Chain A
Amino acid sequence: MTPNNKTDQMNIVIVGHVDHGKSTLIGRLLADTGSLPEGKLDQIKAMCEINSKPFEYAFLLDALKDERAQGITIDTARSFFKTEKRHYIIIDAPGHIEFLKNMITGAARAEAALLLIDANEGVKENSRRHGYMLSMLGIKQVIVLVNKMDLVNYDPEVYSKIVDEYTQFLAQIHVTPKTFIPIAAREGENIASKSTKMPWYAGESVLSLIDDFEKEKEKDNQPFRMPVQDIYKFTEQNDDRRIVAGTIETGSITVGTPIIFHPSGKKSTIKSIEVFNAAAKQKAGVGGAVGFTLTEELYIKPGELMCTQNELQPKVGSKFRANIFWLGKAPMIKDKKYKIKLGAARGNAYLADVVTVLDASSLVSDTQKIKIDRNDVAECIIETIRPIAFDLNHDIETLGRFVIIDDYEIAGGGIVTEKISDENTVEKGAERRNFTWTKSKISPEKRARNMGQRPCLLLIIGKQETEKYDLGVALEEALFNQGKTVYFLGISNMLLSMNRDARRRNTEDRDEHIRQIGEIAHIMADAGTIMISAISEIEDTEASTLKSLVNPYMVKIIANGNTDLYDQKADLIIDTQASVQDRVKTIIDFLNSEETFNPKEI
């Protein structure tokens, strides 16, 4: 980076208990670095005079009227200043507990933090809570500023007492601050230059110490991870590329690298790295918002996690242990369906168990609590409805954290600490269902022999909507005329084509519909019937879900023409050029070859 060309920039957040001087410090930093718009300071001072209010630096930042009236920082205002070394964006995070979500919003954008403690008031509840939140948010560089030293006559004793007490607290949550600085923000002591009022303090001023914060190291040498944000195909614009798009969280990748998507487990190889208006790239690295084409076109949905095949693989499962902070108005409770977002994945999740609820300011834990209240921090077990790909937070930070949505709002955030083996998958559910099912006196074998057919689900897949519907109906009729017990379920078309727009398909709904079709097919097969159904496309995971639901009966997948989206081999692929009658015949031949009718042995 040539210093004169590009500007180096760093985001710093200022946190601390209310009234401990955050806004004052920022105002002072802006004033002392000459970063205020011309006349702004005078304008605010004049306004104070008119209203006969004592001037506050905070007014500078409180640009919004209603904030000025209330006198507290509601939101995380951003201000800009620069030192010789770089540009800074300073984020003022509100200290009021009601505004914890704003504090988090501000802090999450920062690479480093300044935490203020009032020398006169000492360590308060939010001094501790904010310290804890910084560690959960993953902000590792922290300087603690002991403010308002003027109120305690610049007494080193007061200062070192606070330093000791707070260092002890931070040690419990595994945070080591870079340093402590005694300051008086309003008076400008130890802000831009070293104070003469505190000769006992050997360190540097705030401005010079923040220049020592390090830029976050790029996570180039971690395993490659890219949450698939979306899949693009702009066919209308005569563009045939099918582009897998996302932002690279960790690692790097080159053209030709074998890759795998989780949780689907689909594999392919990078064919190209797509860029607009620039030379083609061979390599893409951390932070890039990129797009790839693949050598084999897979049916991949947004939300999958793209990884290389030969590096550490993420975990795939539906149960994990997590530390959560809760911001929601309503508490987080068991048996309520929440939405989870982790990387690009979205799904539904439940709070399976609360292990302990921690008071983030006192660090006292409560193991009796069964819900997580607003502003609580808790260790808990989260269970997702469908399997999700993730990493442990201490392995790969950004894929080991998630947010929880409750009633349209982001209500909590959490970091994943451990994967837990799960028993609640569809397969396990189907096994349990088969186990608890009251058994009929007529065994499936007896029934099959008696009816002269082995029941199954015949699933016709293919792109042309009406065609495969016609085929299904014709097949039903042909089999019926041969005296078979057969039923065409037209409803799956309806269920699954409701969200045909693949880009915005609602995965949860689709999962539920697949499950319904599977359950219906299971009942029909249990009654001895051959069920025929048609849907436009099916994923490997969906096919295997169906198979486990219909088990012990068979699912036969019949592809009406080549379906490039279905990459697991279909049981039968039929030629779409042939007439419907011919295709029906091909299917019946296939069923005969599989000994579906008049089975000798079952």
Chain B
Amino acid sequence: MNQLDKLEAQSVYLLREAYKEFKSLCMLWSVGKDSTVMLWLTRKAFFGHVPIPLVHIDTHYKIPEMIRYRDAIALEWKLTMIYGENKTALDTKQTFPDGAIDRISCCKALKSDALKHTLSGTWPRYKLNHDTQKYDLDTNTAPYTGVIVGARADEEGSRSKERYFSPRDKQNDWDVGDQPPEFWNQYKTDFPPGTHIRIHPLLDWTELNIWEYIERENIPITDLYFDQGEGKRYRSLGCYPCTTPVESTATTVTEVVNELRTGKFANIAERSGRAQDKEDGGGLETLRREGYM
């Protein structure tokens, strides 16, 4: 087995473990490259099926191609596709682009809060109807107790401390100082009522591994990761007001892989195009503690 085979096998193991142990399980799908690879791995794990609902948090500031791509894939792969949003913040324009609040507060409202309430079922969830190809209000409002997330340890300092199975309490709090031990492929799958678990099947993957795997498996990925003729491409996808592309002329997966192998971005953080990370000295960590992915 080569490195990609090993990573794949480990992720499949983790996904199956999650599926076996959690009744109310969902997978967060940002439609970015990492969670799309994770979705692909799910199809591997379950032999073409995706027996886990996919949850997308729609900030309505996502680049429109992303939503089109999401729905096309959801229909083709027969996904149980759910989305949630922070309707109040959007309706009252409590967002950074509208000038009412700063980036971090915007992220908290449109992502963290929307996520928290979508997972707990306290805010409406919308579910893709495969017949009408439209979203209907989801009648299932049960909280998700297991949430599969595509975080990678190499993305950012705070993520390097994650567990594969990471408990969060009722408030979504992450107690970094007191995390469960993990060894011999045994994880924390027993938990008292009220807590829930985040599962991270991609923890050991690097950005390069992700692209090498997309190339090897021929995974459909949104075009935003490629140069559209302006000498720029996105390396990490977020909301358009807060995401800037990197200089690159890579137009195919292979070109992206080669670009990463040259070490062109070795000294530039992957999320450096994501403005919210830079505020508050430890923006992402603050957000993560509050439930950001």
List chain A positions with a Cβ less than 8 A from chain B: 1, 6-9, 34-38, 63-67, 74-80, 87, 89, 101-102, 104-105, 107-109, 137, 218, 229-230, 232, 234, 237, 239, 241, 243, 245, 247, 274-277, 285-289, 291, 302, 327, 339, 341, 398, 401, 403, 405, 408-410, 413, 503-504
> Beyond A66-B176, A102-B181, A410-B181, is A289–B45 a contact (Cβ under 8 Å)?
yes
Q: Which 7 A-B pairs have the closest CB atoms?
A: A63-B157, A108-B183, A38-B267, A101-B181, A289-B12, A289-B9, A408-B190
Q: Check B267–A77 contact: CB distance below 8 A.
A: no
User: A274 to B19, alpha carbons, bound, how many Å?
Assistant: 19
Give the distance to chain B from A86, nearest Cβ to Cβ, in Å.
Answer: 10
User: A405 to B187, alpha carbons, bound, how many Å?
Assistant: 10
Residues in B neighbouring A229, C-beta threshold 8 A: 13, 16-17, 20
Residues in A neighbouring B93, C-beta threshold 8 A: none
Flag whether B88 is at the interface (Cβ < 8 A).
no
Flag whether B220 is at the interface (Cβ < 8 A).
no
Q: Check B158–A63 contact: CB distance below 8 A.
A: yes
> Beyond A38-B267, A104-B183, is A7–B3 a contact (Cβ under 8 Å)?
yes
Flag whether B242 is at the interface (Cβ < 8 A).
no
Residues in A neighbouring B183, C-beta threshold 8 A: 104-105, 107-109, 137, 403, 413
> A63's contact among B4, B160, B188, by CB below 8 Å, is which?
B160
Residues in B neighbouring A243, C-beta threshold 8 A: 47
Q: List 7 A-B contacts (CB under 8 A).
A: A65-B282, A66-B177, A276-B48, A289-B8, A289-B12, A398-B185, A409-B190
Flag whether B141 is at the interface (Cβ < 8 A).
no
User: A9 to B183, alpha carbons, bound, how many Å?
Assistant: 19
Q: Check A274–B47 contact: CB distance below 8 A.
A: yes
The closest CB in chain B to the CB of A247 belongs to: B13
Residues in B neighbouring A101, C-beta threshold 8 A: 180-181
Flag whether B76 is at the interface (Cβ < 8 A).
no
> Beyond A65-B285, A108-B184, is A241–B268 a contact (Cβ under 8 Å)?
no
> B47's contact among A7, A38, A276, A327, by CB below 8 Å, is which?
A276
Residues in B neighbouring A287, C-beta threshold 8 A: 1, 5-6, 9
Give the distance to chain A from B104, nearest Cβ to Cβ, in Å.
Answer: 15
Where chain B touches its partner, the secondary structure class is: loop
Residues in A neighbouring B158, C-beta threshold 8 A: 63-64
Residues in B neighbouring A65, C-beta threshold 8 A: 281-282, 285
User: A526 to B241, alpha carbons, bound, how many Å?
Assistant: 79
Q: Check B46–A232 contact: CB distance below 8 A.
A: yes
Q: Check B160–A78 contact: CB distance below 8 A.
A: yes
Q: Check B48–A8 contact: CB distance below 8 A.
A: no
> A77's contact among B51, B161, B191, B192, by CB below 8 Å, is which?
B161
Residues in B neighbouring A401, C-beta threshold 8 A: 184
Taking A104-B183, A291-B47 as given, write out 5 further A-B residue pairs in contact, using a Cβ cutoff of 8 Å, ordered by the A residue number: A34-B267, A289-B16, A401-B184, A409-B180, A503-B20
User: A504 to B188, alpha carbons, bound, how many Å?
Assistant: 17
Q: Check B285–A410 contact: CB distance below 8 A.
A: no
0/1 interface trace, chain B 21-57, chain A, CB 8 Å (1 if under): 0010000000000000000000111111101000000
> Beyond A63-B160, A403-B184, is A37–B267 a contact (Cβ under 8 Å)?
yes
The closest CB in chain A to the CB of B14 belongs to: A289
Q: Check B3–A8 contact: CB distance below 8 A.
A: yes
Residue of B154, B182, B285 with highest tally of chain A CB at under 10 A: B182
0/1 interface trace, chain B 146-174, chain A, CB 8 Å (1 if under): 00000001101110110100000000000
